[in-house]
Amino acid sequence: MDSGDVAGRDLTDPQFPPVRAAGRGRGWYRGDCHVHSVCSNGGELTTAQLAVGARAAGLDFLAITEHNTAETHGSWSRHIGDDLVVILGQEVVTRTGHWLALGLQPGQVVDWRYGVRDDVIDRHLAEVRRAGGLCVAAHPYAPYASGTLMYPYRGFDVVEVWNGQWSSDVSWQADNEAALAEWGRSLAAEIHQGRWRPAVGNSDAHLEGQIGSPHTVVLAGELSTDAVLAGIRAGHSWIAASHSIDLSFTVSNGHRSVAMGEWLKTGDEPAVVRVDVRGVPGGAVSLHTERGKVFGESLPDTGSGTVEWHITAEESAFVRSEVRYVNGNMAALSNPVILT
């Protein structure tokens, strides 16, 4: 078993995975922040196989999130380089829901022995943040015992609205639809209160062929653990079903143009929403605000197209985009642009 046991090791040992890729500056980076090896229940892949799968899926980073263990933290240095950064993490599997702790220190394990009635989760979320990490509400509507998240979202930094395949052969199912709907409903109220939770999508890979479907595309100052987590925390990201899909989502007013997770002061003038898509033949683009779905347009059979629409801050506090395949499954979705 390729476990890389960390017991008794010096946690400053350079054999632990590096947190930064040399020569990789500001840009959009693709990554999967929820993957498992043989050290997790149901996992069938070694860390070496996960690294191969991540590269084949066109990823720049991944987060190793074993169930309640740091057993594989020490095994990654032999599999990665400047083309792939590994973020140390954990899937915290509690009695009443799962959450992801991303950006842990080598060997760090977060306690999982509690449920919602114990009223202790805030303490453990704070522990992760003190270490510079990020707390993710994982697959909130997962259709199995203990998989449904019973904790309120208020303690988490982001929400995993798109999780990979379960028993179905497709990666978009009713549990994802429910998670997306709840997150979308909450946006306007949270933005009004001054703090909203961005969305992420991850594969939750346990088996071969699952990694990277879906994954999160993040605008980061560099390819490093800290920069990627900062980009996710700020909502400077969108979610893709595969690396063959590209999405650009911007809102412009006058000479200023902003992208996902950014704020745009519009004044009384309409802003121009622009969506550029590649890789979704015959699909459809839709725009969503606090009024729900407000616009939709089909893409050509080539899979590439541009959609434009106008909006004012009086109409909505935000706008976000979705791109779906012909069969209705999700191909890409963006975090919102906030309008003031």
Three-class secondary structure assignment of 214-263: CEEEEEECCCEHHHHHHHHHHCCEEEECCCCCEEEEEEEECCEEEECCCE
Q: Are 87 and 33 in contact (CB under 8 A)?
A: yes
Question: Residue 8 pLDDT > 90, yes or no?
Answer: no
* 247 contact partners, CB below 8 Å, separation of at least 6: 217, 238, 240, 275, 276, 277, 278, 321, 323, 332, 334
Q: Which residues pair with 287 in a beta bridge?
A: 295, 321
- Write out the H or E segment, with its range, that includes residue 305: strand 305-311
Q: Are 296 and 277 in contact (CB under 8 A)?
A: no
- Mean pLDDT over all residues of the chain? 92
Q: Residue 7's pLDDT band (boundaries 50, 70, 90)?
A: very low
Q: What are phi and psi of 244, to 5 degrees?
A: -80, -5
Question: Residue 95 pLDDT > 50, yes or no?
Answer: yes
pTM confidence score: 0.94
Q: What are phi and psi of 136, to 5 degrees?
A: -120, 125
Q: How far is CA 253 from the centre of its chain?
A: 28
Res 194: pLDDT: 87
Number of Cβ within 10 Å of residue 280's Cβ equals 24
pLDDT tens digits along 306-327:
999 999 999 999 999 999 999 9
d(CA 286, CA 331): 12
d(CA 76, CA 14): 11
d(CA 197, CA 176): 16
d(CA 257, CA 135): 30
Residues 239-256, mean pLDDT to the nearest whole number:
96
For 274, the token pair is 């622009």
Question: Residue 117 pLDDT > 90, yes or no?
Answer: yes
Quick check: helix, strand or coil at residue 37?
Answer: coil
DSSP per-residue string spanning 261-301: T-EE--TTSPEEEEEEEES-TT-EEEEEETTEEEEEEEPPT
Res 13: pLDDT: 54
Q: Are 31 and 83 in contact (CB under 8 A)?
A: no
Q: Which residues pair with 321 in a beta bridge?
A: 287
For 214, the token pair is 């879906």
For 221, the token pair is 């100052």
Rounded to whole angstroms, what are the CA distances from 61 to 10, 26, 190, 250? 24, 14, 29, 24
- Smallest CA-to-CA distance from 67 within 37, 40, 97 is with 40
d(CA 336, CA 57): 26
Question: Residue 5 pLDDT > 90, yes or no?
Answer: no
pLDDT tens digits along 220-238:
999 999 999 999 999 999 9
